[in-house]
Amino acid sequence: MELAEVFRFTGMTAVVTGAGSGIGRETATVLAEAGARVIVADLDGGAAEDTAAHIVKAGGQAEARQVDVSDPADVARLVTGAVEQTGRLDVMVNNAGIMLRKPALDITPEEFERVLSVNLKGVLYGCQSAARVMKPGGSIVNTLSTIVDFSTAGTGSYAASKKGAEALTRTFAVELGPRGIRVNGVAPGWTDTGITRGRSFDENGAFDQQGFDALAGRMAGSAPLGAVATTRDTALAVLYLASQASRCVTGHVVRVNGGASMA
Ligand SMILES: NC(=O)c1ccc[n+]([C@@H]2O[C@H](COP(=O)([O-])OP(=O)(O)OC[C@H]3O[C@@H](n4cnc5c(N)ncnc54)[C@H](O)[C@@H]3O)[C@@H](O)[C@H]2O)c1
């Protein structure tokens, strides 16, 4: 296969969840740049519309869908709808995620349930729905996190959800491999997105740019490459995992974190 062919997604359909913002928005954009018709799905329907409009304006093909990944029926509708409309599903990116920063000792059952519902069960439902309709050659990519490699205070529910999603990624890779469907993960490091910016607003709703930049600097300083990942860096890793360039790669987690963790 010629190099240009390897990364050509013309005629293919990709679904990206959490595509209204951050890493998902950039992933949807990159897949569309590579030629895919992208279903841009997000809990925030307006944000999904915005991403789809941005892609279409740049000459790509995209349509927005409102979805709650913690609702299995909603996810099933998203995927079957994509197939009814385009006749196929080639790439499923289970990217939607939320963060709760709280000491593990204080997490309420409701909070724990919410984080697991989106970050872990959302990945389960996305993999199940995609696997039911995908043909051999299909690729599923789950957005995990560098948190799968180490623990930090206040990230108990998030780490549990991402570690669980990593386990699901490997299990689905084993179960779907014989059907020619690959399942991999990307583990971004600290990235400037809605999730990380959300921590830098004070009680009056003002954004602490200086504090945010200092945090970004500390994160970059802790990585061997001395840099933090951009949303584009992770989107390009997803592109690799979605493409034929990774046709012999499954059950793998690509770490996009400047070398902050290695496994
Ligand atoms: N930003 C980072 O530093 C970082 C690091 C590692 C992993 N991640 C992971 O990357 C993924 C994307 O996060 P991001 O950093 O782009 O944050 P973000 O907040 O910019 O984007 C997350 C998107 O997910 C959507 N979403 C939330 N709950 C949803 C639900 N129930 N159903 C559908 N959509 C939902 C949000 O509306 C939002 O548009 C997440 O899984 C996150 O855990 C982020």
pLDDT for 203: 82
Residue 204: pLDDT above 90? no
Pocket of ligand 1 (CB under 6 A): 17-18, 20-24, 42-44, 47, 67-70, 95-98, 118, 143, 145, 188, 190-191, 193-196
Query: How remote is the CA of residue 203 from the centroid of ligand 1, in Å?
Result: 22
For ligand 1, atom 21, name the residue with the nearest CA: 21
Q: What percentage of residues in the chain have a pLDDT greater than 70?
A: 100
Query: How remote is the CA of residue 22 from the centroid of ligand 1, in Å?
Result: 7
As a dihedral over the C-alpha atoms of residue 117, residue 194, residue 138, residue 54, rounded to 10 degrees, the angle is 130
The pLDDT of 203-230, averaged and rounded, is 94
Residue 205: pLDDT above 80? yes
CATH 3.30.470.160 for domain 3-256: no
Q: Which two tokens stand for residue 12?
A: 């293919």
Give, as one character, the DSSP assignment of residue 201: B
- Contact call for residues 35 and 58 (beta carbons, < 8 A): no
Residue 121: pLDDT above 80? yes
How confident is the model over 217-244, as pLDDT tens digits? Answer: 999 999 999 999 999 999 999 999 999 9
How confident is the model over 52-82, as pLDDT tens digits? Answer: 999 999 999 999 999 999 999 999 999 999 9
For ligand 1, atom 30, name the residue with the nearest CA: 68
For ligand 1, atom 24, name the residue with the nearest CA: 18
> How many CB atoms are closer than 10 A to CB 121?
20
Query: 158 an active-site residue?
Result: yes
For ligand 1, atom 17, name the residue with the nearest CA: 195
Query: How remote is the CA of residue 181 from the centroid of ligand 1, in Å?
Result: 25
Q: Which two tokens stand for residue 13?
A: 């359909």
Q: Is 50 helix (H, G, I), strand (E, B) or coil?
A: helix
Query: How remote is the CA of residue 86 from the centroid of ligand 1, in Å?
Result: 26
Determine which of 20-24, 144-148, 202-206, 217-221 has the lowest per-residue pLDDT on average.
202-206
Task: Tell me which of 26, 55, 140, 158 is the catalytic residue.
Answer: 158
Residue 105: pLDDT above 80? yes
pLDDT for 5: 93
- Higher per-residue pLDDT: 203 or 4: 4
Residue 8: pLDDT above 80? yes
Query: How remote is the CA of residue 98 from the centroid of ligand 1, in Å?
Result: 5
Q: What percentage of residues in the chain have a pLDDT greater than 90?
A: 95
* Cα gap 81→89, rounded to integer Å: 10
Beta bridge partners of 155: 102
**Domain ranges within the chain, ordered by starting residue:** 3-256
pLDDT for 202: 83
- Residue whose pair of structure tokens reads 């000459």 in the numeric block: 59
Q: Is 231 helix (H, G, I), strand (E, B) or coil?
A: helix
Q: Which atom of ligand 1 is nearest to the CA of 69?
A: 32
